[in-house]
């Protein structure tokens, strides 16, 4: 299949879209990003890469990082993790609090903020230097030592992350945060500030297309764990638009408020898009259009 031709064609068409969305501003540093940025990268199962536009420029991956902390936490505590976090879609926005109250401090899934905070807590309990050790883990996963946190973004969110502080305190009141709330939040804001390009994202998420083995063929997850995380991404990876994404695109994936989306077709490819304008559900507007067109044109969705 002519992936390069298809990606270039979709890039040119979607770039003309009137429906570019709005750049997130609740984290002030994110609002400074040029809304015209737009990139696509695809890495196929044979590790051949195809890209268009700003595919090699770094951006803030935000919630996409929640999948990576989940991988590391699972590799440390295994299935015990599921005693503290569920696997059901929430159907609510990522920072919704009332569900947590209702469900007595067990977050619906690890990809909403409350669930990701519990995963952070697990890592803070088990890692000697959580921020350094997690960064090291991500670099190994991606086989790329240049990946780093964007300290400005982390600080900007730390100054304005009141809802996350509320969620962490609520979780603590239910006994589902074991460490100091500020230490967990500091780690969470750093993981969300990870900066990567579309190209780096496809390399980092390659293991989900490859049954748990990264591009260097090191085994980071058991095949059944990779399958399960793909299932969680499919049902919970797009805030309260996961059903719509599944319906229109038909791939497991994860989005972030920095405008990135990564999606996976097991055994076939991993694809990443970046356009900072978000739709009203918080997903990249152009990214959604690209992925819908891609699986429609190629017929390569999991369904
Ligand atoms: N750091 C962001 C927050 O906690 C992540 C949101 C996202 O990308 O969904 O609000």
Atom of ligand 1 nearest to the CA of 189: 1
Residue 26 known to be catalytic:
no
For 236, phi then psi, to 5°, come to: -130, 5
Residue 188 known to be catalytic:
yes
Q: How far is the CA of 276 from the centre of ligand 1 (A)?
A: 14
Residue 50 known to be catalytic:
no
Residue 63 known to be catalytic:
yes
Q: Which of 14, 33, 249, 257 is catalytic?
A: 257
Evaluate: CB of 62 within 6 angstroms of ligand 1: yes
Q: How far is the CA of 142 from the centre of ligand 1 (A)?
A: 22
> How much is the pTM?
0.97
Range list for CATH 3.40.710.10 in the chain: 3-61+195-298, 63-192
Q: How far is the CA of 170 from the centre of ligand 1 (A)?
A: 18
Evaluate: CB of 287 within 6 angstroms of ligand 1: no
Q: Residue 94: what pLDDT?
A: 65
Instruction: Take atom 2 of ligand 1 and give the residue whose Cα is closest.
Output: 62
Atom of ligand 1 nearest to the CA of 256: 8
The pLDDT tens digits of the residues spanning 67-97 come to: 999 999 999 999 999 999 999 998 777 677 8
Evaluate: CB of 67 within 6 angstroms of ligand 1: no
Q: Which of 14, 23, 60, 66 is catalytic?
A: 66
Q: Which CATH class is domain 63-192?
A: alpha beta
Query: In a mutational test of the pocket of ligand 1, which residue from 68, 92, 112, 113 has the highest number of ligand atoms less than 8 Å from its CB?
Result: 113
CATH 2.60.120.380 fits 3-61+195-298, yes or no: no
Residue 25 known to be catalytic:
no
Tens digit of each residue's pLDDT, the chain (303 residues): 999 999 999 999 999 999 999 999 999 999 999 999 999 999 999 999 999 999 999 999 999 999 999 999 999 999 999 999 999 998 777 677 878 888 889 999 999 999 999 999 999 999 999 999 999 999 999 999 999 999 999 999 999 999 999 999 999 999 999 999 999 999 999 999 999 999 999 999 999 999 999 999 999 999 999 999 999 999 999 988 999 999 999 999 999 999 999 999 999 999 999 999 999 999 999 999 999 999 999 999 999
Q: Residue 294: what pLDDT?
A: 98
Q: How far is the CA of 231 from the centre of ligand 1 (A)?
A: 21
């Amino acid at each position: 299949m002519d992936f390069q031709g298809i990606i270039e064609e979709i890039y040119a068409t979607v770039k003309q879209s009137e429906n570019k969305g709005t750049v997130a501003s609740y984290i002030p540093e994110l609002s400074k990003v040029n809304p015209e940025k737009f990139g696509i990268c695809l890495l196929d199962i044979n590790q051949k890469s195809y890209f268009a536009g700003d595919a090699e420029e770094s951006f803030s991956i935000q919630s996409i990082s929640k999948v990576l902390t989940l991988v590391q936490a699972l590799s440390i505590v295994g299935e015990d993790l599921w005693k503290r976090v569920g696997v059901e879609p929430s159907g609510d926005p990522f920072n919704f609090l009332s569900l947590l109250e209702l469900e007595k401090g067990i977050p619906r899934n690890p990809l909403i903020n409350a669930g990701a905070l519990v995963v952070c807590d697990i890592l803070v309990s088990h890692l000697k230097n959580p921020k350094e050790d997690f960064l090291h883990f991500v670099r190994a996963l991606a086989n790329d030592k240049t990946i780093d946190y964007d300290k400005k973004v982390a600080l900007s969110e730390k100054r304005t992350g009141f809802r996350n502080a509320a969620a962490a305190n609520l979780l603590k009141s239910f006994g589902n945060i074991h460490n100091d709330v500020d230490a967990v939040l500091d780690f969470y804001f750093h993981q969300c500030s990870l900066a990567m390009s579309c190209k780096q994202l496809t390399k980092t998420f390659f293991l989900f297309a490859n049954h748990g083995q990264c591009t260097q063929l090191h085994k980071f997850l058991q095949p059944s764990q990779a399958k399960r995380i793909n299932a969680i991404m499919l049902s919970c990876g797009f805030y309260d638009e996961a059903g719509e994404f599944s319906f229109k695109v038909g791939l497991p994936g994860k989005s972030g408020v920095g405008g990135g989306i990564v999606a996976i077709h097991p055994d076939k490819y991993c694809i990443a898009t970046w356009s900072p304008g978000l739709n009203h559900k918080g997903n990249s507007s152009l990214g959604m259009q690209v992925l819908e067109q891609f699986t429609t044109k190629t017929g390569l969705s999991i369904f």
